[in-house]
Amino acid sequence: MSASITLRTIMRRIENMDFESKIRMIKRYPKRRLAIIFGVIVFVIFMFSRGTSTGSSFTKQQQCSAEKLKLWEREIEEFDTGINNQSVEFIGNGYFGVDSLGQLRIQEKNRVLDVETNFYPSLKVEIEGSQPVEVTKMTDFKNGLFKVMRCFSIDGECACVTSQLYAHRTRPNYFVQTVQISNPTKSTVRLNLSRLSSNWWAHSKSGELSVNQRQVGGSSYAIVCTDAPGKVTVSQKREESFRFTCSIASKPTSEEASRDAIRLFQSGNDAKALDAEHFEGWSKMHLTGFSVSTSKAPNTLNGDRINATKYILLSSLRAPTIENGATLESVKPLEALARKNELCYTGHSNLLFPSRLWQDWDTPTKLIELVNTWILTFQKRGCTNLLSTGAIGISQAFVQSLTAASYHDSHLEVALDAHDLHREMHFYGVPVYSNMGVVGTIRVDIKLDEENRPFFMVSSSNQLFVCDGGCLDAPVTLGKTPTQLPVKVTKPVTSLLYIAPSRRHLELLKNAIHVSEVGSAPAHEEEVIEMHRSGEATGGMTTFWVFVFVAVVAFHLVVAKIVWNEYRKGDMTPYNPYLRNRYSSLRPH
Residue 409 has pLDDT above 90, yes or no: no
Res 38 pLDDT > 60: no
At 17 the pLDDT is 60
pLDDT digits 0-9 by tens, 158-200? 999 999 999 999 999 999 999 999 999 999 999 999 999 888 9
Residue 578 has pLDDT above 70, yes or no: no
- What residues contact residue 396 under an 8 Å CB cut-off, 6+ apart? 288, 338, 386, 429, 430, 431
Percent of the chain with pLDDT strictly greater than 70: 82
pLDDT given at position 51 = 46
Give the DSSP letter string of 354-403: S-GGG---SSHHHHHHHHHHHHHHHHHTT-HHHHHTTHHHHHHHHHHHHH
Eight-class DSSP state of 475: P
Q: Could you read off the pLDDT of 51-94 as tens digits, one per residue? A: 444 444 788 889 999 999 999 999 999 999 999 999 999 999 99
Instruction: With a cut of 70, say whether residue 50 has pLDDT above it.
Output: no
Mean per-residue pLDDT, 414-432: 92
Q: What is the tens place of the pLDDT at every residue in 107-134?
A: 887 778 999 999 999 999 999 987 899 9
Q: Which is more confident, 508 or 337? A: 508
**Cis (ω within 30 of 0) for the bond into 492?**
yes
Judge residue 567's burial from the number of C-beta atoms within 10 Å of its C-beta, 0-12 exposed, 13-18 middle, 19 or more buried: exposed
Mean pLDDT of the chain: 85
What value does the mean pLDDT take over residues 96-112?
Answer: 90
What's the average model confidence in pLDDT over 504-520? 90
Least confident range of 14-28, 241-255, 416-430, 507-521:
14-28
Which residue did the predictor score with more confidence, 57 or 395?
Answer: 395
pTM, to two decimals = 0.83
Say which range, 85-94, 148-157, 238-247, 327-336, has the weakest mean pLDDT: 327-336
Q: Determine the 3-state secondary structure of 33 from DSSP.
A: helix
Mention every residue, 6+ apart, whose C-beta is less than 8 A from residue 397.
344, 345, 378, 383, 386, 387
Q: What confidence score (pLDDT) does residue 369 get?
A: 96
Give first-to-last CA distance, the chain, whole Å: 60
How high is the pLDDT of residue 28? 58
- Judge whether residue 413 has pLDDT over 90: yes
Give the model confidence (pLDDT) of 439-458 as tens digits. 899 999 999 998 899 999 99
Higher pLDDT: 586 or 82? It is 82
Burial class (CB within 10 angstroms; exposed 0-12, middle 13-18, buried 19+) of 551: middle
Distance CA 326, CA 319 (A): 10
Residue 437: pLDDT above 50? yes
pLDDT at position 26 is: 54
DSSP state of 208: T
pLDDT reported for residue 52: 44
The answer on pLDDT for 586 being more than 80 is no
Contact of 382 with 406, CB cutoff 8 Å? yes
pLDDT for the residue numbered 152: 92
pLDDT at residue 571 greater than cutoff 60 = no
Query: Sorting pLDDT into bands at 50, 70 and 90, what band is 14?
Result: low
How many DSSP H helices and E strands does the chain contain?
Answer: 16, 28
- The average pLDDT across 508-534 equals 85
For residue 18, name the pLDDT band (cuts at 50, 70, 90).
Answer: low
pLDDT band at 3 (very low <50, low <70, confident <90, very high): very low
Q: Which of 17-21, 197-201, 461-465, 534-538 has the lowest mean pLDDT?
A: 17-21
Average pLDDT over residues 305-327: 94
CA angle, 53 then 54 then 60, to 5°: 135
pLDDT at 420 over 90: no
User: What whole-number percentage of the chain has pLDDT above 90?
Assistant: 61
pLDDT of residue 406: 92
* Domains of the chain and CATH, by start: 64-285 (2.70.98.50), 286-403 (no CATH), 408-539 (no CATH), 554-586 (no CATH)
Quick one: pLDDT at residue 346?
A: 85
Residues listed for the chain: 589
Is a pLDDT exceeding 70 seen at residue 32? no
Query: Given a cut of 90, is residue 308 above it in pLDDT?
Result: yes
- Are residues 168 and 278 in contact, defined by beta-carbon separation less than 8 angstroms? yes
pLDDT higher than threshold 70 for residue 567: no
